[in-house]
A and B are shown apart, each in its own frame.
Chain A
Amino acid sequence: MNDDVFFAGITELNQRWRTREFSAVELTRAFCERLEKLGPRYNALALPMTAIALRRAKDIDKELKDGRLRGPLQAVPYGAKDLLAYAGQPTTWGAKPYAGQVFEETAAVLQKLDKTGANLIGKLSMVELAGGGDYRIAGASLFGPGLNPWDRTKWSGGSSSGPGSAVAAGLVPYALGSETSGSILGPAALCGVTGLRPTYGLVSRRGAMTLAWTMDKIGVLARSADDCGNVLQAIAGGDDRDEGSAGKSFYYFPQYARPLNQLKIGFAPADIDWAEPPMRPALAAAIQAIGETGVKLTEVEIPDFPYGDLADIVIGAEGGAAFEELIASGRVDQLADPSQAAGLRANLGIPAKDYLRAMRIRTLIKAKFREMFSDVDLLVAPARYGQAPPVAEPFDGPDPPRDKTPTSRGLRGLTPAGNLAGLPAISVPCGMTGTTSGRMPVGLQILGPAFSENMVLALANEFQKRTDWHKQRPPVSS
């Protein structure tokens, strides 16, 4: 099968299957072989599911023969972060203490995708326990450090490391990931793919590992915003067995979102100066391209809260409670990163008063963002302010010296802020650092009010119609 197939979007793959250019079995076999062969190159593969996927592909081909068409995801292979349970198969949560863990029930999102005819071909690697104890090395995973397809000496981001690498390298057309604070947007930005974090409560987390009940979200990493929209429609929806469920559905109709020329978009020029110097030209050009879509750009500044500290307290307190048995048993010391084990232990010592204070400050943050969204419709900011770090170096080294002192906060802190407020955001590839050698992707974040996914996706779609950064391929040779 031609390499172009591995980098095609969901709609195209489905169309080519429907017109019988290839069968579901042929498509599935091609992706499975590629995932099994190249997945370990990036430490992206947690569990191949080839035999199950090929059996499923035969059924899907029969559906076409019987004229039973189910929509754009039918016959299209995908991968899932290994924090989502699949009945009867190992679900490791990326952590050695859970290496042989098996659940009896498949996660709700995987069940929903199954009903659309989508075909799960493998579980993908992740940072152990989604990084709930504060990891400080890329190697904080049962599967080794996530390696970036653009440069394997660089990190793929976390905690959805496998989904980021696998989508970027054309090993799966899309993958499900999760975000508690940055785990979709980060890998999407570093690997040069599109990553959508939905509104808190829009997608059921039943069957997913719990890190922080009030912050965990399941989302999508894919080749384009359009692909993310199609997948979100399939996985969204209320669930009485998820206490955080908003009980809402999502229908992907970006064409009925408000016209872009009626939208006011908040941005902060200081964000360019906060970013590392090699990223600045790409980010500046991306803001300009957003302006050329017809929206009105207006300068804003993020409300002043200690977002990173707040996220640390909330995730720490909830994650400590969620993993209390692991910590008490001492098996926490089997984690690859000793800093994580220590972090989880320390999380158990966070006082209730501080957790509650953090949760009460979240109420203030939500109110401030509601106020901000009465003036602007969406915000755009760098998805990350730093480039992919080398995998061999710890993350807690000294910060590089700054060449500029930004004059305002800008929108720095938008990722933890958006997660604390439960708001939807997307990261779209918006450029590359450097010119020839050492080129690495840069991501732009678009964030909106709760349940504004169609508006977020509409702007992202228009940006991707005007640019081709999402079509860039890393140097993958099979």
Chain B
Amino acid sequence: MKMTRRALGEAAVAGAAALVPAALLAPSATLAQTPPDGQRDWLAEARQSRAAAQQAIAKVPVAPDVEPAFRFRA
């Protein structure tokens, strides 16, 4: 089984926060200069971009007997 975040208990999260050096969590000067872009509807843009990708792949002909790649091993 792959290790995922589900293996993590909340207690461990709280206790470990102190291990991350505070200086490393501070945003850099360059990041602070990034404009906020507060006027954009990010979710609408993201949905639009995925809809465009879905339309693009719908144009690729695929015969019914073509199976998905990378099936899990038995």
Contact = CB atoms under 8 A, between A and B. Distances in A.
Interface of A: 40, 43, 45-48, 85, 89-90, 92, 98-105, 107, 133-134, 137-139, 142-145, 147, 200, 205-210, 214, 241-244, 305-306, 308-310, 312-313, 316, 322, 325-326, 336, 338-339, 341-343, 345-347, 349-351, 354, 356-366, 391-392, 394, 422
Contact of B20 (A90, A104, A326): A90
A104 B69 contact: no
Contact of A242 (B2, B54, B69): B2
A282 B28 CA distance: 33
A339 B5 CA distance: 22
Given A101-B16, A338-B42, A358 B57 contact: yes
B60 A102 contact: no
A391 B34 CA distance: 9
A364 B66 contact: yes
B13 A102 contact: yes
A98 B14 CA distance: 10
B62 A346 contact: no
Contact of B7 (A99, A103, A147, A243): A103
Nearest to A125: B24
B70 A343 contact: no
Contacts of A350: 50, 54
A354 B57 contact: yes
A119 B67 CA distance: 44
Contact of A346 (B43, B59, B73): B43
A284 B61 CA distance: 35
Interface string B27-70: 11011011001000011011101101110111110100011111
Q: How large is the interface on B (under 10, 10 to 19, 20 to 34, 35 or more residues)?
A: 35 or more
Contacts of A205: 2
Contacts of A310: 53, 57
Contacts of B1: 241
A139 B37 CA distance: 14
* Interface SS of B by simple majority: helix
B69 A214 contact: yes
B60 A361 contact: yes
Contacts of A100: 13-20
A133 B23 CA distance: 26
A205 B42 CA distance: 32
15 contacts: A90-B19, A102-B19, A143-B24, A205-B2, A206-B3, A208-B3, A214-B70, A243-B2, A309-B52, A339-B46, A343-B46, A351-B54, A354-B58, A362-B70, A366-B69
Nearest to A362: B69
A92 B57 CA distance: 34
Nearest to B43: A342
Contacts of B28: 43, 139, 143-145, 147
A133 B47 CA distance: 11
B69 A207 contact: no
Given A241-B2, A243-B73, A392-B30, 7 more contacts: A99-B25, A100-B18, A102-B19, A312-B49, A342-B45, A346-B47, A392-B34
A233 B20 CA distance: 32
A40 B25 CA distance: 11
A115 B43 CA distance: 46
A338 B41 CA distance: 10
Contacts of B54: 313, 350-351, 354
Given A90-B19, A100-B20, A363 B67 contact: yes
Nearest to B73: A243
